[in-house]
Each structure stands twice: as structure tokens, then as C-alpha cells.
Amino acid sequence: MLFQAMGAVLPAALAVALSPFPLIGIVLILAGRHGRRNGLLFTVGWIAGLGIAATFVVFVFGGADDPESPSSAIADWGRVLAGLALIVLGVRTWWQRPGVGSETETPRWMTSLDDVSALRALVLGALLSGANPKNLVLTASAATSIVETGAHDGDLTVAVTVFVLVGSCTVLGAVLIHLLGGQRAASFLDSVRQFMITNSAVITSVVLVLLGAGILGDGLTGLGR
């Protein structure tokens, strides 16, 4: 049961982890004033946001492990709608991507991240993880999948923890590289940031379409039971 629940959350968790904007944001924060302090606070906020969102969905859909329950039907319809939404968002992101050779600028909201306060770094991490609409859809899908495997008590807690840790691996990795790597790490993280900015539309669209198709398929399969 535990391994089934852990396997069910990995695709959504990896999609959360591969989202370009949080990684760009944490690299900018780490490169700024009080980078070590603010980077750690951002990470705490990110983990807390994901954990709270996942726990809330698990609580709401606690009966979804029974295929005949209303919670199960709602979860399946939710998957269908979420899958369609992710596919549409992925196609839209691809369609609006910058043209070949055009210069990609850092989003305006990120330009001030090198001088954020401790509180803003904490809140920003929580908002980008737990309140981000795309992450909410992914978290809801992952948490519902955990419940539907029939995991309870300790297994449920472990599966949610795995989702949160895998979904946080890129942010955690950036902070660890910054803390342990010195100047070479700063140069490496800056190159990662620039790669993410340049290719964010392509990465985001591919991840959204593939995962959206998977979630849509799971929802349709559930409705057909």
C-alpha cells in the first residue's frame, strides 16, 4: 500500500519540482543580500505551503478510496477538469512562447527578489507552492491519488511527506548547493537561472501537457469503473 501510494504521487511531485519560476526565484534570493537567511526561509515557506495544501486535500477527499462513494466520483470529475485545464494551459504557454532568437527577460516580479525581507521570503515560498493555481491542481491530484490507494495513518503520512520532499527537491537542492559550494556554486546557479528563464515556456508547456494527459486519463478511467 505504501509503495503504491508513493508511486502515485511521483509524477505530480516532479512536475511541481520542475516548475521554472520557483527555481529562478530561489536563485535570485540566494544571490541577494541576506541570501542564506532568505533562501532558508523561502524553502521553509515552500515546504509548508505544499504540506498544508496536500494535507487539506487528503482531509477533504478522505473517503475517495471507496469507488462507490461521492468523494470518489467528485475526485474523478476533478481529475478530468484538472487534466483538461493543464493541457489547455500547456498549449497556451507553448503558443505564447518567445520566438527563436528573441531575448527573454526576467519576469518583473522577480527583479526585486535580491533584496527581500525575511518575512517576504517566507510568505513568497508559501504562496508559490501552496497558493499557485498550477501547483494546487498538481497537489490535489497527488493527494487524491494517495487517498485512493487506501493508505492510512503512517503510510498516508509517509506518502504525503514523499510528495512534499520530491516537489521541493529543486528548491532544496539550490539552497544546499549555495550553502556548500561557495563562489563556484553561485556561478552554477546563475547559469541554471538563465537556462530556466530562456526555456521556461518550453519546459512548462511540455510538463503541463504530459501530466495533464495523464491526469485526464486517470479521471476518465475512474469514471468508467
Query: Cα dihedral sign for 59, 14, 133, 215?
Result: negative
CA distance 168 to 5: 18
- The predicted pLDDT at position 49 comes to 93
Residue 60 lies in a domain: yes
Q: How many domains does the chain have?
A: 1
Burial classification of residue 125, based on how many CB atoms lie within 10 Å of its CB (0-12 exposed, 13-18 middle, 19 or more buried):
buried
Name the maximum alpha-carbon separation found in the chain.
Answer: 57
CA distance 187 to 194: 11
CA distance 161 to 153: 12
Residue 68 lies in a domain: yes
- The predicted pLDDT at position 42 comes to 94
Give the DSSP per-residue string, 101-156. TPPPPPPGGGTTGGG--HHHHHHHHHHHHHS-HHHHHHHHHHHHHHHHTT--HHHH
Residue 218 lies in a domain: yes
pLDDT tens series, the chain, 225 aa: 667 877 878 888 888 888 887 888 888 888 877 888 999 999 999 999 999 998 888 887 765 555 666 667 777 788 888 889 889 988 988 887 776 656 555 566 566 676 788 899 999 999 988 888 888 888 888 888 887 777 777 788 888 899 999 999 999 999 998 888 777 777 888 888 778 777 778 888 888 888 888 888 877 877 766
- The predicted pLDDT at position 107 comes to 60
- The predicted pLDDT at position 106 comes to 59
Query: Cα dihedral sign for 20, 22, 23, 25?
Result: positive
The whole domain housing 21 covers 2-99+117-223
Quote the distance between the C-alpha of residue 221 and its chain's center: 24
Residue 184 lies in a domain: yes
- The predicted pLDDT at position 123 comes to 92
Residue 27 lies in a domain: yes
- The predicted pLDDT at position 190 comes to 80
Residue 109 lies in a domain: no
Residue 104 lies in a domain: no
